[in-house]
Amino acid sequence: MAKMNLLQAINNALDIAMAKHDNVYSFGEDTGAFGGVFRATSGLTEKYGRHRNFNTPLVEQGILGFANGLASQGSYAVAEIQFGDYIFPAFDQIVNESAKFRYRSGNEFNVGGLTIRTPYGGGIAGGHYHSQSPEAYFAHTPGLKIVMPRNPYMAKGLLLSAIFDKNPVLFMEPKRLYRASVGEVPEEEYTLELGKADVVKEGKDITVLAWGAQVEMAEKAAEMAAKDGIDCEVIDLVSLLPWDVDTVAESVRKTGRLVITQEAPITGGFASEVAATIQDQCFLYLESPIARVCGLDTPYPLSHEKEYFVDHLKVYEAIKASMTY
């Protein structure tokens, strides 16, 4: 075991993958010798050469077009989009090419070796172009997998699973936790199952569901609620596509209450999909309406980030409201 922050865990996963197969390639804007703006790919060019970890032009559509071609030829393509906010020029390549490649060819061809890494989320004073959480745009797309880790241990195991999964994976990294989240991580290779939620804390009174960096807010809110005698079950959804309906539904049948929290704006967010599915599966078990604690329906503000940010206090208030409904 070694103590790593989330960035180091990601770098370690990339290192292991590239050492394991000589057809694993990592690339993106400034990801070569510079190591990327967050240094997630530091040392990989020196270790594996410029032909395996390299810079691309500043054109996101081109990055994904190239990645699709590389993956379609049997390589493992790990493409970095520098910020999740800038993934939209590549939207067509991802939703119309990556996600549909296998389907439109009748399984003759695929880009299963594609992994798209991108940092997402706020809390870093990044303003409206460096703070967005765009996961819901892609969760509407059959053919993709979406993974959002919460800590270094999860990040390493999930990234290794994503790279060698047989489907294209969008791997969204919580940049607020890149250096803030530190934990013990096995130095050897290990994988974690995609599509499986993680029960972070068991409880009997109410289920609190989150993913990525927002799990920390759920845990802090649960600690506050515990002082009021409320026993929260905290679940990390981990994967949004596919998502683990059974684990969440089982929890809600036990507790009768559900609070879902996400960084993204409330309208059309993935929390809405979870709420609709769980009320369908657990309607007769619910003791109160399913609550969503989300970002506001505005661009992410720089000057009012503290008011906008979905912190633990907002989640705590939702827990209290659900318990007293």
How far is residue 128 from each of residues 115, 205, 274, 304, 307, measured CA to CA in Å?
Answer: 25, 37, 26, 11, 14
Which residue from 42, 213, 34 is spatially nearest to 131, judged by alpha carbons? 213
List phi, psi (to 5°) of 2.
-140, 150
Give me 302's structure tokens.
């720089």
Report the phi/psi class of residue 268: left, alpha or beta, with left for phi > 0 and alpha for psi in -120 to 50.
left
Q: What residues have CB less than 8 Å from 280, skipping those under 6 apart?
A: none
For the chain, the domains span: 2-185, 198-324
Is 198-324 in the same CATH topology as 2-185? yes
Instruction: Give residue 77's pLDDT.
Output: 98
Q: How confident is the model at residue 91 (pLDDT cuts 50, 70, 90)?
A: very high
For the purposes of burial, counting CB atoms within 10 Å of the CB of 131, is it exposed (0-12), middle (13-18) or buried (19 or more)? Answer: buried
Total number of residues shown for the chain: 325
Q: Which residues are within 8 A (CB) of 157 and not within 5 positions of it... i.e. 6 or more apart?
A: 13, 190, 191, 192
Question: Using one digit for the tens of pLDDT, what is the confidence trace for 235-251?
Answer: 999 999 999 999 999 99
pLDDT tens for each residue of 200-218: 999 999 999 999 999 999 9
The structure tokens 């409206």 sit at 128
At residue 302, what is the residue type?
Answer: L
Model pLDDT, residue 3: 98
The per-residue pLDDT for 228 is 98
Per the annotation, the verdict on 60 as an active-site residue is yes
CATH topology of domain 2-185: Rossmann fold (3.40.50)
The reported pLDDT for the residue numbered 197 is: 98
* Predicted confidence (pLDDT) per residue in 116-159, tens digit: 999 999 999 999 999 999 999 999 999 999 999 999 999 999 99
140 carries an active-site annotation:
no
Task: Please state, rounded to an integer, the average pLDDT across all residues of the chain.
Answer: 98
198-324 maps to CATH 3.40.50.920: yes
Q: Which of 29, 60, 80, 233 is catalytic?
A: 60
CA dihedral 158, 160, 163, 166 (to 10 degrees): -80
Per-residue pLDDT band at 50 (split at 50, 70, 90): very high
Nearest to 173 by CA among 187, 152, 189, 194: 152
Give residue 213's pLDDT.
98
Q: Among 130, 135, 219, 312, which one carries the catalytic annotation? A: 130
